[in-house]
Amino acid sequence: MPYATIGEILSRVDRRSPCPPGQFPDFDPENLKAWAYFIHVYLDFSQGTGWFASPVATRTMEWPSFLPRYNEGSGRVDDPPLLARLSHLEELRKILDYISYCMRVWRIKPVIIPGSTTILGFSIDSDDAYNGCFQRAKDACDVAWEKVMSYSARRLYPYADPWERPGGPNVVASGDREEGEDVAFILPDITLLYLEANQEWQQVFGDIGSGNIEIQAGYRTQNWQRRVSRARQSAHVAGAAIDALPPQVFMDCFPFQEDNYGKRISIGYLCWLFRRAAQNSPYFREIVVLNRGQPNETRVPRIPKTLCEPGTAHISFGWLLHAVGSRDVRQDVLPSVTRPYPVDANDPDAGTDVPTSRTRDEFQGPGQLNHLWDVFDPTQYATLNFGAISNQPDYSGGISARWLASYISEALNNRGWDFGRLIRQHHVDRLNNQDARIGQID
């Protein structure tokens, strides 16, 4: 039952006995009033006051300050507070964090004292009431994640490589379709980071080809993953990774085409660029990691894992999904589209969910850029050893803007290579002044 307006939602969805969350109106994910009401009805009646306190869930999280509140008196959702606008994707990420937090609170079953036990403002007077409410919250959590991930996947559609799947489904989506629609779910962190990294790319190479970093692959259903890869586990299946390359004309104009110089240099550079974009961005500060063997919370920078593969730059936030705690917690706070999610390798109940060693490493955290090419050595101009940055099994290398600027400069000025007049001196100058160069390289 689609609702056109927030007014209709308020008039038709009874907050005491709402329809199942899956049938909740297909509201615009950018509509903050609709989000506020959805969270109010399904996950958190209290909106930040009188929370169920648990000795385990010691961390509290405030109702997201940019979200309007449900006003009991008027029976309406207030207007959004006047705040500096975040990007929509950042708002959506914060909403997901809040929903995950609510789920962590919900999953701790209280000792029920009729008349006085409440969880997030819902009164719980029996086991049945608890189980029913928890299930409703889980369903709502799933709907919320899918809505956000579907929206953020579609934000990437315009940047798909036009040659990758001509006439077919968008390559950001899986190859599978449902009711004529491409099936696609991507973490908002990936989309937000892509847009930031692409802005950096545009500032330097925006005048070449499409001017964008092009996406080769995004979300894959499990079914599609089996068709395109031997690896059973992949961050693509969780909507937590994209593969990216520069425009083909950019890669084609490098020397030593027979050794794939253009493509392999580009891939190394993108792996560095996506990490630097995250390091520089105000949106990717840090994430609190719980239950990873440490008694206390740890704060980890929100940087992607990058894989400098021979054929593509694989950019992954799969570790963010793994960072939300133990397997049981993940099961509750993550949506079904991110499963089968990776599990702890030493978990005796892990069974066949255990990813291969390579993907497991990808789910542990961003790690470091090993084998970073930062200072270019002109004597290696014709004999670059890409195995050093794209080494099996971890593919953890990268190429900095400084190295790339020196390489292009060497080709233009000392080797008589003109890059088909596509890459020129002004690109070298822009690389040397690139925002992404500010700060320390990790």
- Using CB under 5 A, list all residues that contact Zn ion: 243, 314
Q: Closer CB to Zn ion, residue 70 or residue 395?
A: 395
Query: C-beta of 242: minimal distance to Zn ion in Å?
Result: 7
At closest approach, how far in Å is the CB of 129 from Zn ion?
A: 44
As a three-state string, the secondary structure of the chain is CCCCCHHHHHHHCCCCCCCCHHHCCCCCCCCHHHHHHHHHHHCCCCCCCCCCCCCCCCCCCCCCCCCCCEECCCCEECCCCCCCCCCHHHHHHHHHHHHHHHHHHHCCCCCCCCCCCEECCEECCCHHHHHHHHHHHHHHHHHHHHHHHHHHHHCCHHHECCCCCCCCCCCCCCCCEECCEECCCCCHHHHHHHHHHHHHHHHHHCCCCCCCCEEEECCCCHHHHHHHCCCCCCCCCCCCEEEEECCHHHHHCCCCHHHCHHHHHHHHHHHHHHHHHHHHCHHHCCEEECCCCCCCCEEECCCCEEEECCCCEEEECHHHHHCCCCHHHHHHHCCHHHCCCCCCCCCCCCHHHCCCHHHHHHCCCCCCCCCEECCCCHHHCCCCCHHHCCCCCCCCCEECHHHHHHHHHHHHHHCCCCHHHCCCHHHHHHHHCCHHHCCCCC
CB of 220 to Zn ion, least distance (A): 9
Decide whether 231 or 422 has the Cβ nearer to Zn ion.
Answer: 231
Minimum CB separation of residue 184 from Zn ion in Å reads 15
For Zn ion, the closer of residues 253 and 267 by Cβ is 267
Nearer to Zn ion, 314 or 427 (CB): 314
Find the shortest distance in angstroms from Cβ 243 to Zn ion.
4
- As measured in angstroms, the least distance from the Cβ of 227 to Zn ion is 14
Question: Whose Cβ is closer to Zn ion: residue 263's or residue 314's?
Answer: 314
Name the residue with the smallest CB distance to Zn ion: 314
Name the minimum Å distance from CB 229 to Zn ion.
9
Give 243 or 344: the residue with its C-beta nearer to Zn ion. Answer: 243
CB of 244 to Zn ion, least distance (A): 9
Q: Which one, 161 or 243, has the nearer CB to Zn ion?
A: 243
Nearer to Zn ion, 264 or 427 (CB): 264
